[in-house]
Amino acid sequence: MKKSYRNSTYSQRQLRVGELVKQNLGEIFIRNEAKIPAFNTKVVTVTEVRMSSDLKSARAYVIPLGGIEMGKTVSTLTEFSHLVRKALSKKLDIKFLPRLSFVEDNSFEYAEKIERLIKKNKEDENNKKRYN
């Protein structure tokens, strides 16, 4: 039975290695060390990295600056993940270098949606109090 990435508890080791991968990916993107042709990695933010239970695969949640062209960014990073992995191998000293998969991070959009709903609810309550 496979563990899902989203709804499971993570061990301390998974969290620690995930954070290490996240920090190093961020560094690689800022310094443009992956050498992805015709792509500026400086505009990519890695918001979270979730490791599989065996630490052999990592799912990196990324968002481009301003959230523009998210699909294109993710597909480019996925296509050239071997270059990112190569740059990561020079920075990490762990037994198995994880396979990388890149995923769109929609958590900011979700947070904005929740914030709008809360704001609307407060406005509705204020209007009810005012008219009652």
Residue 14 vs residues 5, 22, 100: alpha-carbon distances, Å: 11, 12, 15
Q: What would the DSSP string read from start to end of 85-132?
A: HHHHHTT---SSPPEEEEEE--HHHHHHHHHHHHHHHHHHHHHHHHH-
Q: Where are the domains of the chain?
A: 12-105
With a cut of 70, say whether residue 53 has pLDDT above it: yes
Overall pTM > 0.85? no
Task: Give the residue-averaged pLDDT of 82-89.
Answer: 92
Of residues 125 and 29, more confidently modeled:
29
The CATH superfamily holding the domain 12-105 is K homology (KH) domain (3.30.300.20)
Using CA atoms, how far apart are residues 94 and 79, in angstroms rounded to an integer?
24
The answer to whether residue 1 scores a pLDDT higher than 50 is no
Residue 35 has pLDDT above 50, yes or no: yes
